[in-house]
Chains A and B, each alone.
Chain A
Amino acid sequence: MPFTTALPATTGVRWTLVFRQAVLEATAAFALALLLLGPIVGLVLDGYEVKNELQRPLLIAAIIAIGRFLVALAMHTPAGQAMLERFNARRRQPGVLVVSIPESNRQRWWLLVIIALALSLPFLASKYWLTVLIQAMIYVLLGLGLNIVVGLAGLLDLGYVAFYAVGAYGLALGAQYLDLGFWSALPLAAMLAALFGCILGFPVLRMHGDYLAIVTLGFGEIIRLVLNNWLEFTGGPNGVAAPAPQLFGLEFTRTAKEGGVPFHEYFQIAYDPTHRFIFIYLALFLIVCLMVVVVTRLRNMPVGRAWEALREDEIACRALGINHVLVKLSAFMMGATVGGIAGVFFATYQGFINPTSFNFFESALIVAIVVLGGLGSTTGVIVAAVVLTILPELLRAFADYRVFTFGVLMVLMMIWRPRGLIRPRRRAFEVKGLCP
């Protein structure tokens, strides 16, 4: 039944029409691509001269034109039409699935497998892969934190890296000036990040949502600039050292530096620098697990419901007596806290931080994780964070294209599947005598 509309795919005469149309579209695409890419890609500035690289835009434009041609042709075949139909149908259908509780219970044992795997990984991995895993975990944490803000509450925060920086510098500067250790700095830095979130969010969250995006963008840049310019306090571009974590006073160093006992001496095993990373990884993993539980519970709590309701319709929320500013602020601060915690772990794992780690691309990467994870889906965010950290390590040769690819993916995701790769689910409520 899907082909009831008169399609020009049947007769030869129409095929010539289709063909001519396709050629026309391809030519237009070729011309536009050449106009856009010709100078920027084809003529490379070298001092006050240009190097001729015109073959590059020609090649790209040709690929685009051929692609456009084939797509234009394919769209007129029954298969192409059917695909277009499916695509449109998917965009029309409701994006959310309501799941009753027993069904979501079934996933429990999968969870156990994943946890066991994640716990055993650090003991199998080399030091290099261990650091990659730690990085992935930090991004999972950042993704979960930003997901509360962007995915649940629907507030686009483009300066999330600022809270990450506050956490990282909180640890490093806390150790330097106040002699704080890792474990005492962790809650303090998290609270500091939350405080920053509150100071920024309270005035701005009253306004139209787009303003928040640009203000947070500016705020992220302010934090970076202050860190960079305030030489006396932050060390400026030279950065600061951050302390390593301790396990009940045991240090993960070859010899005790901070008056404690080295871990390997206490347990009488050979010194291995990976112990420190394994410890960081495990602590981080614990925090991530905790975070997953917290986020899952938050979603079913009054405040989580209010976040999602605010994302859906702010005006209706206000008419229901919900103080939209405070509810948004709670999401914003919660996200900031998690960002701060991630920052503390980043600092302790790096051992040394400087402002270059906290630029806009970092914020954009975290937004990309949340977007590709599907705006609101915890599983999606975790998968996206792990994939986006590990994939670039596997494809080293394409490392330069990382940001470019993220950009393309973000655009495509929004057009193709604005709700993410994984369809969001909602919990169904069982009420006595209602569900069969």
Chain B
Amino acid sequence: MDWHILAQQLVNGLTLGSIYGLIAIGYTMVYGIVGMINFAHGDVYMISAYVTAICLAVLFSFGIDSLPFALLVTLAVTMLITAAYGWTIERVAYRPLRGAPRLAPLISAIGMSLVLQNGVQLSQGAKTQGVPSLIPATLRFGEGNDFVQITLVQLMIIVVSLTSMAALTWLIQRTSLGRQCRATQQDRRMAAILGINTDRIISTVFVIGAAMAAIAGVLVTLNYGSFDFYIGFVTGIKAFTAAVLGGIGSLPGAMLGGLILGLSEALFSGMVNTDYKDVFAFSLLVLVLIFRPTGLLGKPEVEKV
């Protein structure tokens, strides 16, 4: 294999991995705080892709031609609406079920996921949707047929993901809200006794996770340009794989897991087979769970007896 193909796959993998990392944050934070997988999270990401396309279309129909402005507005609107979805999911499918049998919230989240997928399918149609290619600029290294190219959007994805990751880390580590989140994660009852409104914190975590997924949704839509109502399913499982790989409950772990998964998936599809890249990712999930269930950066779970 030539170096440039390898390098190209690395660039693609890095981009893909940043996206997985952003979505994985939602899984890992929610799992950390309520100890449950948010099965509807992948669909939240799917919603954000639709909102992005709709918002861009509306802005262009109003004749706004400043691209940076349009992108910023789209990002803001998408994050707002997607965050509202995250809040609603928590409010409807999780909060009424505090203290219910363990299976109940999982099932209601699956129900939520079906509602979102089918709801979007019903209102937007089943066909694949898309946005025009807005930022065609690419950087190219190399000459003739041997080149590596990185599009501006790919660069944006990597930069924006790292920035939002850093911002989120700051939020969790340095602010009062972050402290409350961490306290609730460690011991919900004790946090409540100390006067933290744990219901509000759990909502906040769902909202943050959804907002991160929204950033991923905007970036992916700009990069790939096409999506349908089913994208949340596969991407959701992969992002969850990333969260498990990095160690569920750990924020840097989510990003690290995302990058590793993205890179290995890109290398696999570049070197072995594209058809089986999803099979590869899912198999990776099973293997990680077997050999290192705590992930790379996760803490070993001490069973409470």
Contact = CB atoms under 8 A, between A and B. Distances in A.
Contacts of A410: 107-108, 110-111, 114
Interface stretch (A40-48, A101-109, A123-131, A177-185): A40-48
A411 B278 contact: no
Given A44-B125, A218-B285, A364-B114, A404 B108 contact: no
Interface stretch (A14-22, A166-174, A204-212, A320-328): A204-212
A204 B286 contact: yes
B131 A44 contact: no
A204 B289 contact: yes
A222 B276 CA distance: 9
A382 interface: no
Given A32-B88, A404-B119, A410-B111, 13 more contacts: A41-B119, A50-B58, A210-B31, A214-B285, A218-B241, A218-B282, A219-B286, A226-B276, A361-B114, A403-B114, A404-B118, A406-B114, A407-B115
B81 A218 contact: no
Contacts of B88: 32, 36
B286 A215 contact: yes
Range for the number of chain A residues in contact with chain B: 35 or more
A213 B111 contact: no
B303 A35 contact: no
Contacts of A315: 303, 305
A418 B100 contact: yes
Interface of A: 32, 35-36, 39-41, 43-45, 48-50, 53, 56, 150, 154, 156, 158, 200, 203-204, 207-211, 213-215, 217-219, 221-222, 225-226, 229, 315, 360-361, 364, 367-368, 371, 375, 400-401, 403-404, 406-411, 413-415, 418
Interface of A is mostly: helix
5 contacts: A39-B55, A40-B50, A48-B132, A214-B237, A226-B279
A36 B85 contact: yes
Contacts of B113: 407
A39 B122 contact: no
Contacts of B37: 210, 213-214
A36 B84 contact: yes
A48 B131 contact: yes
Contacts of B132: 48
B201 to A, nearest CB: 20
Contact of A371 (B36, B58, B107, B122): B107
B67 interface: no
Contacts of A203: 286, 289-290
B28 to A, nearest CB: 13
B92 interface: yes
A154 B102 CA distance: 9
Nearest to B92: A411
Interface in B248-296: 275-276, 278-279, 282-283, 285-286, 289-290, 293
Contact of B278 (A32, A43, A221): A221
A414 B129 contact: no
Interface in B34-92: 35-37, 39, 47, 50-51, 53-55, 57-58, 60-61, 80-81, 84-85, 88, 92
Contact of B111 (A35, A53, A211, A414): A414
Q: Is the interface of B mostly helix, strand, loop or mixed?
A: helix
B252 to A, nearest CB: 21
B286 to A, nearest CB: 6
A222 B60 CA distance: 40
Most B CB within 10 A of own CB, among A45, A53, A219: A45
Nearest to A158: B110
A404 B43 CA distance: 14
A181 to B, nearest CB: 32
Contacts of A222: 278-279, 282-283
A35 to B, nearest CB: 5
B96 interface: yes
Given A207-B289, A414-B104, A367 B110 contact: yes
Q: Considering the complex of A and B, which 6 residue pairs feature the smallest CB-CB distances, nearest first? A: A410-B111, A407-B114, A407-B115, A218-B282, A414-B108, A411-B111
A361 B60 CA distance: 36
Contact of A225 (B58, B117, B279, B303): B279
A410 B282 CA distance: 26
Contacts of B300: none
A226 B283 CA distance: 12
Contacts of B93: 411, 414
Nearest to A236: B275
Contacts of A406: 111, 114
Contacts of A219: 282, 286
Given A48-B57, A213-B37, A221-B282, A407 B112 contact: yes
B36 A210 contact: yes
B192 interface: no
Contact of B123 (A41, A48, A204, A361): A41
B136 interface: no
Given A218-B286, A222-B279, A411 B50 contact: no
